[in-house]
């Protein structure tokens, strides 16, 4: 028999060691606020109906694997655990992994912390195939390993979707562990996209390395603190803080951009003509867009563009180089 699993019932508190985490392979956020949705998103009552708690019987006592919160709930309400599945014997860790993986994927689903727990427990016995089984990019293994060392606050933010694992693993990669919480909290407060968050993380690292600053000192500079106090929408705060960090990381580009926009205003394009510049002037290539409703407006826009093209201001603008 490769694995021996049986149904057990009416277990008392002294028969289960709920303190033990030796075989515990689940992670639930400390608190679920309304609207917080993690990767698992399992309702606890649905959990108990779909699959009962899973235990492992070892040294004359049951140890929790899945469903510890259900066990605690039933002990509190009933004084006993009505029913559970228990593993009594298994051939080897590979067989155990396959069985637990089947249960997780089929009934419960994984969140990122649970993947990290599985990875730590079974990596040595399962081998490289574990990455495919857990749907983990091998390049992210270091991030998953460090995740288990992170605070509960960080784990909760990841599971509930407040931060993307790509952003979080970048923090793990660039910074010492004692800085993780403050940087992660700072990034979570920035209501900007994943790409810009990644840029913020990288800029914090680059600036602190160049200027010999601590991350805490940088993210609490007066300019940033003032933005947090402003009565504007969270996304606006995020964009302004991004601009502050960008200006500090790339002062020459920022200065050039200000001068360029200042000269661009002299062209007086109006609201109907848009002059688009490449991001951070990576290419000296521009786009002009304009709106029109009929042939008359089309001719007006063309005439205006012709006039702008022949002006000294436009010629001087195009002579600029970063």
**Mind giving me the DSSP string for 113-153?**
HHHHHHHHHHHHHH-THHHHHTT--GGGHHHHHHHTTS-HH
Look at residue 91 and give its three-state secondary structure: coil
Lowest mean pLDDT segment, chosen from 30-44, 52-66, 77-91: 30-44
Lowest mean pLDDT among 1-15, 24-38, 47-61, 174-188: 24-38
* pLDDT tier at 40, thresholds 50, 70, 90: very low
Say if 282 falls within a structural domain: yes
47 pLDDT exceeds 60? Answer: no
> How far apart, in whole angstroms, are the C-alpha atoms of residue 77 and residue 63?
20
Question: Which residues partner with 62 through β-bridges?
Answer: 16, 57
Read off the tokens for 310: 């022949």
- Residue 169 is predicted with a pLDDT of 98
Structural domain contains residue 312: yes
Residues in Cβ contact with 238 at an 8 Å cutoff, skipping those fewer than 6 apart: 189, 190, 191, 192, 196
Distance of CA 266 to the CA centre of its chain: 42
Q: What is the pLDDT of residues 226-257, one digit of tens each?
A: 999 999 999 999 999 999 999 999 888 877 88
Q: 184: pLDDT confidence band, cut at 50, 70 and 90?
A: very high
* 278 within domain boundaries: yes
- The pair phi, psi for residue 79, each rounded to 5°, is 80, 5
Encoded tokens for 321: 């180089």
Higher pLDDT pick, 34 / 271: 271
Report pLDDT for 322. Answer: 62
pTM of the model: 0.77
Residue 182 has pLDDT above 80, yes or no: yes
Task: Let me know if residue 295 belongs to a domain.
Answer: yes
Residue 294 lies in a domain: yes
Q: Count structural domains, the chain.
A: 1
Task: Note the pLDDT of residue 266.
Answer: 83
Closest CA to 224 of 248, 206, 202, 194: 248
In this prediction, residue 43 carries a pLDDT of 47
Q: Is residue 134 part of a domain?
A: no
CB-based contact 44:50 (threshold 8 Å): no
Question: Which helix (H) or strand (E) element contains residue 273?
Answer: strand 273-276
CA 100 to CA 76: how far, in whole Å?
Answer: 27
Q: What integer pLDDT is reported at residue 288 of this predicted model? A: 87
Most confident of 149-153, 272-276, 314-318: 149-153
Domain extent, residue 289, equals 264-319
DSSP letter for 16, please: B
Res 34: pLDDT: 40
Task: Express as a percent the part of the chain with pLDDT over 90.
Answer: 66
DSSP structure class, residue 13 = G
Q: How confident is the model at residue 28 (pLDDT cuts 50, 70, 90)?
A: confident
Can you read off the two tokens belonging to residue 210?
Answer: 């160049």
Does residue 128 sit within a domain? no
Q: Among 183, 176, 175, which Cα is nearest to 153's?
A: 183
Q: Which residue has the tokens 């492992």?
A: 56
Q: What is the mean pLDDT of the chain?
A: 89
> Has residue 95 been placed in a domain?
no
31/260: higher pLDDT: 260
Q: Report the pLDDT value the prediction gives residue 50, as an integer from 0 to 100.
A: 63
Find the range with the poorest average confidence among 3-17, 145-159, 243-257, 280-294. 280-294
Mean pLDDT of 98-118: 92
Q: Does residue 33 surpass a pLDDT of 60?
A: no
Angle at 108 between CA 105 and CA 111, to 5 degrees: 85
Alpha helix (H) residue ranges in 220-294: 222-229, 234-249, 251-265
């Amino acid at each position: 028999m490769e694995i021996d699993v049986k149904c057990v019932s009416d277990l008392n508190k002294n028969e289960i060691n709920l303190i033990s985490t030796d075989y515990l392979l689940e992670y639930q956020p400390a608190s679920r606020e309304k609207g917080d949705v993690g990767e698992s998103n399992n309702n606890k009552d649905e959990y108990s109906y779909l699959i009962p708690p899973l235990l492992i019987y070892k040294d004359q006592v049951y140890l929790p694997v899945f469903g510890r919160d259900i066990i605690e709930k039933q002990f509190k309400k009933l004084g006993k655990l009505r029913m559970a599945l228990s593993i009594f014997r298994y051939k080897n860790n590979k067989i155990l992994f396959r069985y637990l993986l089947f249960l997780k994927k089929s009934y419960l689903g994984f969140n990122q912390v649970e993947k990290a727990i599985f990875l730590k427990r079974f990596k040595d016995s399962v081998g490289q195939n574990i990455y495919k089984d857990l749907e983990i990019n091998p390049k992210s293994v270091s991030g998953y390993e460090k995740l288990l060392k992170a605070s509960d606050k960080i784990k909760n933010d990841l599971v509930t979707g407040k931060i993307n694992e790509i952003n979080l693993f970048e923090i793990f990669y660039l910074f010492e562990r004692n800085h993780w919480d403050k940087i992660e909290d700072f990034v979570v407060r920035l209501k900007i996209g994943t790409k810009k968050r990644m840029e913020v993380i990288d800029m914090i690292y680059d600036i602190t390395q160049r200027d010999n600053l601590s991350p805490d000192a940088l993210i609490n500079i007066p300019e940033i603190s003032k933005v947090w106090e402003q009565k504007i929408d969270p996304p606006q705060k995020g964009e302004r803080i991004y601009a502050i960090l960008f200006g500090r990381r790339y002062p020459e580009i920022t200065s050039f951009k200000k001068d360029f926009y200042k000269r661009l205003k002299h062209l007086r394009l109006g609201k109907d003509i848009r002059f688009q510049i490449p991001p951070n002037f990576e290419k000296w290539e521009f786009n002009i867009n304009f709106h029109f409703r009929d042939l008359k407006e089309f001719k007006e826009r063309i005439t205006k563009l012709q006039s702008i093209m022949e002006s000294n201001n436009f010629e001087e603008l195009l002579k600029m180089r970063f």
